[in-house]
């Protein structure tokens, strides 16, 4: 399979299919994944976990081929599993042992000699942000701490690649941000490539270099996040109010409308964000237009900035297009 396998390819699949008696979990999936943080996005049941199982060499594909780190999953499963880490979606921690004890055991299960297992465990737990609590039984940990232990056991043997299955599940917004930051660091600081699954597109946007979207076992889209988010530029504008225009935002919106620009409110339901207007920049003239309109109304321009599109918006519009196509077809 060398003809399409470049040296920079971490995961490569070629018409990979997995059929169960009643469902087709993967349908001729061909995708190349390079080093970096890659998001694997899809609704529940889209085939993400099935793909990870096949990539770990634990479940044979019905047809097609796959390679991980240049090793064929059908024949080199054990070698692959020595070089990759896996963090499952579900709970997998015994409550009556300490994080240190558990991670040391898992390090040895990956083939690390006893002394190295202890050293790597201490290092890894520190890197994921577990300190004194690592000597206490896991049963008393919060969800966020448990997720860190799960992550630590996947990293402790210094793999070249980790599979993280829904690592932000069950976390509160702060924990989610911390976990995403940690995932980013796994690549930037530790040099370990990451395949992270999520059913939420939005949260992968700032974390991943590349996003693969699967739906019903089929590849929907595979591209870098910059492709996703830089196809168009959105301008965010915020203005002051004056006595003449008590609602400056609305005045600007109406004025821009009058000049033919398409403007939407950028509030997104967030408190204090109701004063943000979003409009699509068509080029230099859009900036001039905004400057002129605001100056004409005598308002102060608090900010005007480029904003990246959310991946979800890209997909929402694609979904809508698909629905329209289906609608026209019927």
**Backbone dihedral region for residue 12 (phi beyond 0: left; psi -120 to 50: alpha; all else: beta):** beta
Pair of tokens at residue 285: 């003239």
Residue 105: CB atoms within 10 A of its CB come to 15
Residue 257: CB atoms within 10 A of its CB come to 11
Name which of 95 and 300 has its Cβ closer to another protein.
95
Asked if 208 and 37 count as a contact pair (C-beta separation under 8 A), the reply is yes
Name which of 96 and 284 has its Cβ closer to another protein.
96
Name which of 103 and 290 has its Cβ closer to another protein.
103
Give 137's contacts (C-beta < 8 A, 6+ positions apart).
95, 96, 97, 98
3-class DSSP state for residue 27? Answer: strand
Name which of 149 and 299 has its Cβ closer to another protein.
149
Smallest gap from Cβ 74 to another protein, in A, equals: 14
Smallest gap from Cβ 4 to another protein, in A, equals: 27
Asked if 241 and 248 count as a contact pair (C-beta separation under 8 A), the reply is yes
Smallest gap from Cβ 243 to another protein, in A, equals: 43
Q: How far apart are CA 55 and CA 22, in angstroms?
A: 22
Backbone angles phi, psi at 65, to 5 degrees: -130, 160
Name which of 158 and 254 has its Cβ closer to another protein.
158
Smallest gap from Cβ 94 to another protein, in A, equals: 5
Name which of 158 and 241 has its Cβ closer to another protein.
158
Footprint of another protein on this chain (CB under 8 A)? 49, 52-53, 56, 58-59, 78-79, 81-82, 85-86, 88, 90-97, 101, 105-106, 108-113, 116, 120, 123, 127-129, 131, 137, 153, 157-158, 177-178, 181-182, 185, 189-191
Pair of tokens at residue 21: 């008696």
Going by their DSSP bridges, the two strands 161-164 and 84-87 should be labelled as parallel
Smallest gap from Cβ 268 to another protein, in A, equals: 24
Smallest gap from Cβ 198 to another protein, in A, equals: 17
């Amino acid at each position: 399979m060398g003809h399409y396998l470049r040296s920079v390819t971490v995961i490569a699949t070629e018409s990979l299919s997995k059929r169960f008696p009643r469902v087709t979990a993967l349908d001729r999936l061909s995708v190349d994944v390079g080093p970096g943080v890659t998001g694997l996005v899809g609704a529940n049941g889209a085939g993400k976990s099935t793909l990870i199982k096949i990539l770990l060499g634990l479940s044979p594909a019905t047809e097609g081929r796959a390679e991980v780190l240049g090793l064929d999953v059908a024949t080199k499963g054990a070698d692959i599993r020595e070089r990759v880490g896996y963090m499952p979606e579900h709970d997998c921690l015994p409550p009556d042992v300490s994080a240190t004890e558990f991670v040391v055991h898992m390090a040895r299960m990956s083939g690390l000699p006893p002394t190295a297992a202890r050293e790597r465990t201490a290092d890894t737990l520190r890197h994921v942000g577990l300190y004194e609590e690592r000597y206490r039984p896991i049963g008393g940990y919060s969800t966020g701490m448990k997720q860190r232990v799960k992550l630590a056991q996947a990293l402790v043997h210094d793999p070249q690649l980790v599979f993280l299955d829904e690592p932000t599940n069950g976390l509160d917004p702060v924990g989610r941000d911390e976990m995403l930051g940690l995932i980013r660091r796994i690549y930037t600081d530790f040099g370990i490539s990451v395949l992270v699954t999520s059913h939420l597109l939005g949260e992968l946007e700032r974390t991943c270099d590349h996003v693969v979207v699967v739906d019903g076992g089929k590849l929907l889209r595979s591209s870098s996040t910059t492709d996703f988010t830089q196809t168009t530029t959105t301008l965010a504008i915020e203005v002051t109010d004056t006595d003449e225009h008590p609602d400056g935002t609305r005045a600007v919106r109406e004025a821009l409308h009058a000049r033919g620009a398409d403007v939407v409110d950028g509030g997104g339901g967030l408190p204090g964000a109701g004063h943000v207007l979003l409009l699509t920049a068509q080029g230099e003239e859009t900036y001039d237009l905004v400057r002129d309109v605001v100056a004409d109304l005598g308002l102060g321009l608090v900010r005007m900035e480029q904003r990246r599109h959310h991946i979800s918006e890209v997909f929402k519009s694609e979904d809508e297009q698909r629905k329209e196509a289906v609608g026209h077809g019927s």
